[in-house]
């Protein structure tokens, strides 16, 4: 894992609660990229997406595209 990912400012949603279960953490990275990792397995390599992919995801979430 790169030094940038090891020292990234990982955070999770405040509504996730404190039990650490079923949560994702995100971290801003250089070049506008965003890291995504499982709170239950922070030692695993995170996914890293480009700024445009992250922006599209956030836009879709705000529009309810992922609601069931």
pLDDT of residue 18: 66
Q: What is the pLDDT of residues 5-52, one digit of tens each?
A: 989 999 987 777 666 567 889 999 999 999 999 888 888 999 999 999
pLDDT of residue 16: 72
Could you tell me where the beta strands, DSSP code E, fall in the chain? 24-28, 34-38, 47-49
Q: How far apart are CA 36 and CA 24, in angstroms?
A: 7
Residue 66 has pLDDT above 80, yes or no: yes
**Predicted TM-score of the model (pTM):** 0.81
Q: Which residues contact 54 (CB under 8 A, 6 or more apart)?
A: 32, 33, 34
* Mean pLDDT on 48-61: 96
Cβ distance 39 to 28 under 8 Å? no
């Amino acid at each position: 894992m790169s030094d940038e990912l090891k020292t990234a400012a990982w955070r999770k949603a405040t509504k996730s609660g404190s039990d650490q279960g079923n949560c994702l953490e995100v971290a801003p990275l250089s070049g506008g990229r965003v890291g995504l990792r499982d709170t239950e397995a922070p030692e695993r390599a995170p996914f890293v997406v480009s700024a445009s992919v992250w922006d599209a995801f956030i836009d879709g979430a705000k529009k309810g595209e992922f609601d069931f």
